Chain A
Amino acid sequence: MFDLLISPFTEFAFMRRALAGCLALALGATPVGVFLLLRRMSLMGDAMSHAILPGAAIGYLAFGLSLGAMTIGGIVAGLVVVFAAGLVTRASVLKEDASLAAFYLLSLAAGVMIVSLRGQNLDLLHVLFGSVLGLDDASLLLIAGIASVTLVSLALLFRPLVMECFDPAFLRGVSRWSPVAHYGFLMLVVVNLVSGFHALGTLMAVGIMILPSAAARLWAKGLPMLLLLAVLFAFGSGASGLLLSFHVDVPAGPAIVLVCGVVYFVSLLAAPGGLLAGRLPVRHHLES
């Protein structure tokens, strides 16, 4: 048991780094994912993850596999798409999903084209699927830094963000926090997707945001419990995914997301908010 679960981490530094990266992602990206889920923007997170590709690709094209260039490029591209889509939503008849879809599709196409200019599919795979087992000190620091910034920002934005999700009209009525909460949150989404794409790649980064959140939503009634459960699910899945990848010799990114998926399906079956709970016969209902 010790050999199976603990020794991979004690013996190999790259496994410890990967585990630390997963912890940082679970603490930073997953709470953001919870709010994406509650705002019904789960698919938007997926769209955003594609939107950061051209920025990272331009950084890659100009400076090679440079952490700083790809990070800044990705964040800039993500923010451009977020604010351009927001502008179009406010100033035209298009709703947010349509304007965002337009921008992210263009962004994705541009990104794939830019990556292919360099012409090595191996690099494209790295950008798309990340390298959680190859995290160096700089990447790890970046991921941990983004997680810290995210936690502090979420703590500061918490009340306005909850109100913006629950009753935006009321928040607009009592304060000017509504756009701050909305765009501040979208910026958090962008930086966390960039952080996730170093570890898991652009395509998998959304997985560790949304899947643990969706699973936790099936169990939790209140928001604090929901956030806590989602983080625990995410970290648990990260650790299990790494072990799976280590023992069975499969890529780590997909393994982590698939373990998240297992947690989600188990929750779907067993949780009080899941598929079975409402269908079981009620033997004794309450008096009132």
Chain B
Amino acid sequence: MNPLLRLIRLFLIISISAIAINAYAIGFGGFSLGGGSEEEDSNSFDIGEIIDGVKDISRTITGIDEEAEIEIGRDAAAVLLGASKPVNDPELQRYVNKVGRWVVNQTNRPQLPWRFAVLSSNHLNAFATPGGNIFITDGLLRTLNNEAELAAVLAHEVAHVIKKHHIKAMSSINTSGLSGVLKLAGQTSEGKNNFIAKEMVGQVKDMYLRGLDKDDEFEADRMGIVIASRAGYDPFALVAVLQTLDSINPESSGLELLYKTHPPAGDRLDRLDPALEQFEGSVEESPLLEQRFNKYVARRP
């Protein structure tokens, strides 16, 4: 977010908080100071709820509870899996999880419940949801040439998770911002008939149809290169992926959603130079693990 907006938002939050706290003091100052429990307050005026709301708003996206983040991510992942199922190939799925796990272990959030899956769609795309669910379509997987390229795609998605880009995007879709998203996520009940709020489903779809902030995409490209490189992969592999994508007619079916939600591959290549500069002259050759990749990917019909 640009600094000015951030400042304005911060100011708003502070002033709303001040108003709410004043209201609280005026409304209940006399008798709730000592023991005003939430239940009592909500019965009378709901002012407690307003204050909770303010707390939620002021809770920055980066400060979101990990548990809530994971819950929101599970809802989102269930929606995506409703559109496309994992490829029925346990060895392949396990392989992609091995690559993904090695990649995320190079980040500051290895403890998240990371899950990777290849989805049986011929569209070319990859998705992440908060909390560590990463999906790549079979269509995209098959355009890749080696494990370094797979790691590059996964690392881009991992960067979105690390930076909580989806939480940010959902918060801008929900009219109540982050607190609204958190509230919807809370409507998931335990048990067999796991229930995801209808509104949540709608907002998740909205987000994946609109895509993330373009700057967040560029950031994920830059960070993904670093993450994949930390894992020992060729930092230039993302360039290969983007050049492949760029060489496909953007009007082909299978690319519409990718390009509706991402900057053109050519623009992404243009923006990558600064991120690649640090590898100049130092990483000329890195393993691509082509054989391991082919063992799991190319053997398939």
Chains A and B come from one and the same complex: no
